[in-house]
A and B are shown apart, each in its own frame.
Chain A
Amino acid sequence: MQCDKTTAKTKVECHMKYVAKNRSSFIQKIRDFFVHADFLEVETPIMTPIPGMEPHLTPFESRLNFPSVSNSKTADLPVYLNTSPELQMKKLLGSPEGFDKIFNITKVFRNGEMDGPLHNPEFTMIEWYRKNADYKDLMKDCENLILELVRINRLKTIGADETQNNLAVSQTAAPQIPSLTYQSETINLSTPWPRFTTNELFIKYCGLDLLENQEFATFKKNAEAKNLDTNGCENWDDIYFKIFLNNIEPELTKLNQPIFIYDYPASQAALAKKSSSNQFFAERFELYIKGIELANAFSELTDSKEQLARLLEEQNLRKTMGKTILPIDEEFLSALEAITTPTAGIALGLDRLIMLLLDKKSIEEVLLFPMNKMAK
């Protein structure tokens, strides 16, 4: 059926076709990008008996039924929808078969995340890992991937919304300064994109050095002395986040460049390697564009003993929070032991990236069947 400009009903169909064509084209280009860089595409299960442990994530839970051999009753096993393909991908990295550079474009599921324009409980994640690399190599991957998609988006005309009064499609050659227009603002994509450590941001916007505020009580006292709101905060991370959300993130939203925030407090990076320069921080970064968190990356922690200790800590935290206690994945721990070279990995939200590329304000505008709409 052709898109017809005259009726409201077909507007919806035109929109769906526009979204479908663009998603298909971007996903194709993303595959090309990684395959061209010698990455192997891998598939990981969506349903798993052991999902990730992150205390702030809530997996969807179900039970797997199977006939039991020993008696006539049906046995069952708890299973979960994956919140991230991380554990399985690291098992591949640790396998003796030598997976060095792998990527995955997969669905992930997070329960309880359905508020606002940036969340859908089911979304698509691009996750990739590199051996013999650290998180700074992944920053370059992000720059290259996104620049490539922006360049292609500029050149192509497919899916040009047939409902609009098309004037000339600009024929301009690649511009001098690569840029992206998002919600009427021009984002300068010239590389390298600015990088700030979390501590630099706290010093710059709040006058607080995290290294001098490693204890909850000191942090609270010094934050309050600077008139920063710490109401309701029960631990160090609460204060960190409350200040970040109220006093730092709004400043980042104003910047018209993508930014990498790196070296997070180790307490917020359970699967990341601690920074060699200061053990208080871990080698993790997040990529933000116009205040939208797009990607999260680590230099991977490959010390299985330390990993076990951190997982036990997270398991404990889940217990105190009243969340489902999840098992520790032994296979994952032994896979880590087999990873002998420095390795870095990253997860990038595909739907949010498409939202930026297509200049859409919310994630539901780039999904064919957003859950938000169904729940309303």
Chain B
Amino acid sequence: MSSTTDLKQGLTILHKGNPWLIAVAQFVNPGKGSAFTRAKLRQLKTGQVVEHTFKSGEAVELVDVVRTKCQYLYNDGENFNFMDNESYEQFSLDKEAIGDSTKYLVENTECYAMYIDGIPVSIQVPPKMTFKVISAPPGYKGDTATGGSKDATIETGATIKVPLFIEEGDLIMVNTAEGNYVSKG
């Protein structure tokens, strides 16, 4: 097992005894020469998401994760089933292991399978994905004269905040790490 002081999005680290994927890493500089990295971490086994701030230069242990391309097949009501694109072997994961990424799984989506010691523990969806909007009721202005946003439902059933001009049938690009709208697809 190796260690790093360079915390970056996509790394898997050992934190409090468990493997966590760094979903978002952001630099914070509160003053007095101290620099920190605020990370959003997703526990690979349980899907739990926490924020933690690391001191820049603090050594963290890396978990050796093997990533291979895989394809999402179907949900059998309990588990999500995938096929490894290299070995053609199928595997299934429960929704906790997949975490927030369940919101972005459409059949045949290509993603990455993550293996620790040869066992599939989670998957990683592409950082930006395009979805069809299946419902986007017209928004209206509340009490602030702002550009505003509204909720749209995408084909997976997930809800995304979008600008008011997005309509049903539009394709939109979503940042899957932050869960937010990026642009009109």
Contact = CB atoms under 8 A, between A and B. Distances in A.
Partners in one complex: yes
A15 B184 CA distance: 14
Given A232-B58, A246-B52, A268 B31 contact: yes
B59 interface: yes
B88 to A, nearest CB: 37
B18 interface: no
B108 interface: no
A8 B184 contact: yes
Contact of B144 (A55, A115, A181, A245): A181
Interface string B122-152: 0000000000000000111111111110000
Contact of A56 (B34, B142, B146): B34
A241 B143 contact: no
B31 A245 contact: no
A241 B36 contact: yes
A155 to B, nearest CB: 8
Interface residues of A, number: 52
Contacts of B164: 161, 163-165
Interface in A265-290: 267-268
Contacts of B143: 154, 170, 172, 175, 181
B38 interface: yes
Interface string B146-185: 1110000000000000011100000000000000100010
Most buried by B among A113, A165, A237: A165
Contact of B33 (A55, A358, A360): A55
A113 B30 CA distance: 11
A181 B142 contact: yes
A11 B164 CA distance: 11
A246 B142 contact: no
B48 interface: no
A11 B31 CA distance: 38
A188 to B, nearest CB: 14
A116 interface: yes
A238 interface: yes
A35 B35 CA distance: 38
Nearest to B170: A8
B57 interface: yes
A359 B144 contact: yes
Nearest to B147: A161
Interface stretch (B21-29, B66-74, B95-103, B110-118): B21-29
B142 A55 contact: no
Interface in A228-278: 229, 231-233, 237-238, 241-242, 244-246, 250, 267-268
Contact of A232 (B33, B59, B148): B59
A335 to B, nearest CB: 24
B53 interface: yes
A319 to B, nearest CB: 11
Contacts of B38: 245
A165 B140 contact: yes
Interface string B3-40: 00000000000000000000000111111111110100
A267 B32 contact: yes
B54 interface: yes
Contacts of A172: 143
Interface in A196-233: 229, 231-233
A267 to B, nearest CB: 7
A54 interface: yes
A170 B34 contact: no
Given A154-B144, A232-B58, A163 B31 contact: no
A165 B139 contact: yes
Nearest to B181: A361
Given A56-B33, A166-B141, A161 B53 contact: no
A237 B141 contact: no
B148 A245 contact: no
8 contacts: A56-B32, A166-B140, A238-B34, A245-B38, A250-B51, A267-B32, A268-B32, A360-B147
Interface of A: 5, 8, 11, 15, 18, 54-56, 112-113, 115-116, 153-154, 156-161, 163-170, 172, 175, 180-181, 229, 231-233, 237-238, 241-242, 244-246, 250, 267-268, 317, 321, 358-361
Given A5-B165, A15-B147, A165-B140, 16 more contacts: A56-B34, A113-B29, A157-B145, A159-B145, A163-B164, A164-B141, A170-B142, A181-B144, A229-B52, A231-B54, A232-B56, A232-B59, A242-B36, A245-B28, A245-B30, A267-B32
